[in-house]
Amino acid sequence: MKLHIESMTCGGCARSVTATVKDIDPAATVDIDLPSKTVQIQSAQPLARFTQALDEAGFPPQVEG
């Protein structure tokens, strides 16, 4: 699943996003591209769990194709 997070602007934001994903699924693979503000997540958990948690953490995501 690929997400765009406009509010992710620095390394600290990227670490927070990664921590939020890992709180849901410690085995998830998280690949962040900070310049494009995209996050690629590989997990068996439903997308909605991640989007809700990221939104609550202050990083509202938009799902990308």
CATH number at 24 reads 3.30.70.100
pLDDT at 11: 96
Domain containing 38: what range? Answer: 2-64
| Structure tokens that stand for 37 in this block | 């503000």
Residues 11 and 24: their CA atoms lie apart, in Å, by 20
| Structure tokens that stand for 35 in this block | 């310049």
Judged against a pLDDT cut of 80, whether residue 65 lies above it is answered with no
User: For strand 38-42 and strand 62-64, is the pairing parallel, antiparallel, or unpaired?
Assistant: unpaired
Q: Is 31 helix (H, G, I), strand (E, B) or coil?
A: strand
Q: At which residue do the structure tokens 């690629």 appear?
A: 40
Q: What is the pTM of this model?
A: 0.94
pLDDT digits (tens, 9 = 90+) for 15-53: 999 999 999 999 999 999 999 999 999 999 999 999 999
Q: Domain tally for the chain?
A: 1
